[in-house]
Amino acid sequence: MNSRLLAIVITGLLIISGCNNQSIMEGNHSLQKADKKKEEIIVWHTYSEEETKVFENEVIPLFEKQHPDIDIKPVRQPYGEQLKWTLLARASAKKPPDVVRMDISWVPFFAKMGQIYSVSDFKDFNHVKKGLLEVPLKSNLFNGKYYGFPLNTNTKVAIYNRDLLKDAGYTKPPDNIDELLDLILKNHYRIGLTGYTAWETLPYFYGFGGTLLSPDFKTANGYLNSPKSIQAVEKLRILFNASGNSDTWQGIIDGKYLMIDEGPWFYSVQTPQKLKEIMKNTFSVPFPVTNGKGSVLGGENLVIMKGARNLKASWIFVKWMATSEPQKLLMKTGLMPTVKGMNIKESSKELGYFESYSEGLNHSFSLPPLANWAQIEEIYIKYLKMIILERIDVKEGLTLAAKEMDTQLLKEKGR
């Protein structure tokens, strides 16, 4: 199945993603290098405009100063499915890029397809591993091996409107999702819940006591459609009925919403004046924790593609990026570091909102480490939307969803 998929991808995308290169990767990690003084590494990334400025004007020059025999050639790419398939086609044809900053949810897919290197196989891997936060590091784990390092991490926190919470007689936010639901219903408040994706809804589904898959991620039947999951989705539907369609970012400031959940970019992209208004009218706390789970883990990992022309230089760069020096520079843009021991509060006093995110990471959960997670999520979204819009009964919808997911999970066993 994998070879068939690769053939389709290569045929369709190799031409548009073609690139002249003078050195290619051979088997057994051997390398044919062009005759030049410096090794060149091509790095593809999806940094924002502000992040790109820091990465290209501060981080890369610092690395090249410390490693004068290596040149880094950064290429900014638009994030999306086209990028995913282009990367697969180029890696399978042993073409650059050498190193890629990719969404954590993509790592299992590329690992299964055999198009990224396992960093577990490098002799100094354990030394680098010890210096990284465990939760984001785990997002690189697939079938017992690590396939990258966490470059930056994030999660979502609960952001409350100060006045609405005070008007309801609360001196602190609700301790759990059930209490939040009661507060919203009793006071006729609204919550900023607008989408159906796993990123948007799983924290609430888990918070209400639901379970998506078995602990080994091999089956959905009996879990997604269990009595507790059915009850969780029934409560989620009530919560959706108390949501709104207006701009959640401005709505939480203006008091149209009691609470929204959002990532650190809610703050990092704002002007200083807007940030002042946000801090005055709202405050953030870690997302409520139920059964050890708070909100979903996000972020990007740095991986070495099978198209890498210089494995040694790529490894040097990847493990350097997993240290405090470059991550401290990127933290100025609002990116959360993954290195242990970094004093976020002390290093970025102007980013006061970081504290709740840092605390929230301790209980954040990863999306299931499945190569075909995209297909699983499509099923989840399809049936959840039908249930929320009352086009199908909760139990029936979850049972049908579990059946379709199990079909996909059977394919996953072929990994």
Q: Does the predicted model carry a pTM greater than 0.85?
A: yes
User: What are the beta bridge partners of residue 25?
Assistant: 31
Q: CA 170, CA 396: separation in Å to the nearest integer?
A: 38
> Is the pLDDT assigned to residue 413 strictly greater than 80?
no
Residue ranges per structural domain of the chain? 27-153+298-361, 157-296+368-412
Q: What is the mean pLDDT of the chain?
A: 90
Ramachandran region of residue 291, left (φ > 0), alpha (ψ -120 to 50) or beta? left
Residue 341 has pLDDT above 90, yes or no: no
Helix axis angle for 227-241 and 177-187, nearest 10°, is: 40
Task: Give the H/E segment covering residue 18.
Answer: none
Q: Which CATH class is domain 157-296+368-412?
A: alpha beta
pLDDT confidence tier of residue 353, bands split at 50, 70 and 90: confident
pLDDT at 36: 58
Question: 18-32, 153-167, 223-237, 245-259: which range is least confident on average?
Answer: 18-32
Report whether 388 contacts 196 (CB < 8 A).
yes
pLDDT of residue 23: 31
Euclidean distance between CA atoms 201 and 210, whole angstroms: 11
CA 300 from centroid of its chain's CA atoms: 6
Which CATH architecture describes the domain 27-153+298-361? 3-Layer(aba) Sandwich (3.40)
CATH topology match: 27-153+298-361 vs 157-296+368-412: yes
Which band of pLDDT confidence, cut at 50, 70 and 90, is reported for residue 15? very low
Q: CB-based burial of residue 1 (10 Å sphere; 0-12 exposed, 13-18 middle, 19+ buried)?
A: exposed
- pLDDT per residue over 269-307, tens digit each? 899 999 999 999 999 999 999 989 999 999 999 999 999
For residue 17, name the pLDDT band (cuts at 50, 70, 90). very low
Q: Which helix (H) or strand (E) segment is 159 a member of?
A: strand 157-161
Q: How confident is the model at residue 350 (pLDDT cuts 50, 70, 90)?
A: low
Residue 144 region by backbone torsions, left for phi larger than 0, else alpha for psi between -120 and 50, else beta: left
Question: Would the pLDDT of 257 be above 50?
Answer: yes
State pLDDT tens for residues 193-227: 989 999 999 999 999 999 999 999 999 999 999 99
What does the radius of gyration of the chain's CA atoms come to, in whole angstroms? 23
Reply yes or no on whether the pLDDT at 14 is more than 60: no
pLDDT tens sequence across 62-114: 999 999 999 999 999 999 999 999 999 999 999 999 999 999 999 999 999 99
- pLDDT digit string, tens, across residues 166-197: 999 999 999 999 999 999 999 999 999 989 99
What pLDDT is attached to residue 351? 59
pLDDT(230) > 60: yes
Is pLDDT of 21 > 60?
Answer: no
Amino acid identity of 41?
I
The 99-103 sheet, strands edge to edge = 70-76, 39-45, 99-103, 298-304, 149-154
